[in-house]
């Protein structure tokens, strides 16, 4: 999802920055997004740059070879993908400040041990140097984002439960 977002008026309500919202397709996971606005680009993209949320890109073997069937398949997938992204944009646009605060809060602690993260690499991975020491870097890059997302969703649920508990006391 790059290039001009001219056909996406809802994006207008979201300032540049980093955001965290629950995955519209899976509320047990948090997703992370970056809004970038420059003279040449205007987009909301998954964060970190290699992350992918929502309906996965179809495997080549899943795509029909016959032309009209392929066009229908691609159009249907694009629609599904766009519907997902619309939900993400709506969730962020509903409260950009809260989503930005959520990003900052969740990315400041190790998802494994909960200690504060101090450097940029640790914040990108969501895990501190001690906890990732024994992990294969390739595995880290591939699996950390969904892992972090699930840990963060569980953390948010705990916080909400705690807050709800306070309200009834
Ligand atoms: Zn840790």
For residue 166, the model assigns a pLDDT of: 65
Ligand 1 centre and the CA of 130: distance in Å? Answer: 6
**pTM score of the predicted model:** 0.76
Ligand 1 centre and the CA of 126: distance in Å? Answer: 9
**pLDDT, greater one: 50 or 29:** 29
Interacting residues of 43 by C-beta distance below 8 A, sequence separation 6+: 1, 2, 3, 5, 11, 35, 36
User: Rounded to whole angstroms, how far apart are CA atoms 154 and 152?
Assistant: 5
Ligand 1 centre and the CA of 81: distance in Å? Answer: 34
For residue 111, the model assigns a pLDDT of: 79
Ligand 1 centre and the CA of 122: distance in Å? Answer: 9
For residue 3, the model assigns a pLDDT of: 44
Strands 17-23 and 26-37 come out as antiparallel
Give the model confidence (pLDDT) of 114-151 as tens digits.
888 988 888 888 888 998 888 887 777 776 778 888 88
Q: For ligand 1, a single-atom ion, which residues have Cβ within 5 Å?
A: 110, 112-113, 128, 131
Ligand 1 centre and the CA of 116: distance in Å? Answer: 8
């Amino acid at each position: 999802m790059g290039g001009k977002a001219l056909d996406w008026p809802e994006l207008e309500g979201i300032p540049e920055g980093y955001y965290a919202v629950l995955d519209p397709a899976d509320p047990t996971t948090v997703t992370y997004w970056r809004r970038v606005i420059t003279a040449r680009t205007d987009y909301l993209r998954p964060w970190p740059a290699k992350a992918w949320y929502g309906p996965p890109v179809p495997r080549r073997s899943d795509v029909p070879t016959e032309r009209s069937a392929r066009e229908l398949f691609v159009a249907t997938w694009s629609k599904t993908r766009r519907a997902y992204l619309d939900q993400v944009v709506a969730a962020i646009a509903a409260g950009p400040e809260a989503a930005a605060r959520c990003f900052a809060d969740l990315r400041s602690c190790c998802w494994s041990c909960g200690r504060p993260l101090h450097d940029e690499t640790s914040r990108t991975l969501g895990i501190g140097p001690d906890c990732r020491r024994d992990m294969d870097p390739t595995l880290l890059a591939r699996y950390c984002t969904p892992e972090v997302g699930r840990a963060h969703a569980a953390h948010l649920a705990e916080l909400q439960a705690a807050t709800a508990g306070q309200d009834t006391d």
